[in-house]
Structure 1
Amino acid sequence: EHIKNYSKHIDEFRSQANSQGIWLFISTLGCWSVNIPLIQVIAAILLFCIFIFNSKQDMTEKRAFHKIEEDIAKDIDSNLIGDSRKARLYDLGLVEKYRKAIKPVLKTSPIFIVCYIFYSISFLVFFSNLFPRMKLIFNF
């Protein structure tokens, strides 16, 4: 039961990340539409903080994935023995492998990934233009 709920939680988290990604993209465009560089920096930093806060708020489970896995493993170890214990630990291992695998993340959270990359690149371009001597990556 705990393993099934945990697997469902991972899928909900990734689905929600896509929704947050859309919000991040639109807000990023808003940050850069301001003409005053100091306000842009403040807006971009606030945007990131709000993004992190919102993504945490909507989740029913507040613990980190690895903490959930540890708690489930402890529960299995303390309540099961023999083959059923091994089977549940194996199932937990499969869910953990799914969580860490790149391919499922790319399949289930593409909008979030693209929007987060856009936010990161736009932030780098902004700082590169703000401090011309630094020329971080881009020559705009």
Structure 2
Amino acid sequence: MMTGTKSSLPSGYSAFSAYCSDFIVSSLKSSYGVSLGISADNAMGHAITLWGVDTDDETGLLTKIYFTDSDDNTTALRCCSLTETDGYLYMDGYHSSLNYCIDSAYGLSLVEAIPEPTSSSLLLACGSLLFLRRKRGGISDIP
């Protein structure tokens, strides 16, 4: 799953911020991992991992995000308040001199794990073969 840009909004949405907020909340509720694409003044792009959000009860827009950033030299969870401007959600205080906004969101689903039967099947098959071989040897194997 992936959000689009402002020019490719689905019907019913007049601003990217509303679509992005709905998409992110829906993805988190569906237990998807969420990665956000952010950019500063439409020039510098970066990706962060989203862990949680706060929303405005009236508008449904995101008001705060909780995230980790692999480039900030820390393993701590960070949070940023968000402000909507011109249909985009801007991250207040993310960077000291650049004005970053959320420009894309990606919902990452976990592929169902397929059980790996080969190990147990091989162990059972080899054990059975050894048992049968020993059994066919009969009394001659007994000292």
Q: TM-score, length-normalised on structure 1?
A: 0.21
Structure number having the greater helix percentage: 1
Higher relative contact order (CA 8 A, sep 6+): 1
- Normalized per residue, which structure has more strand? 2
TM-score (norm 2): 0.21
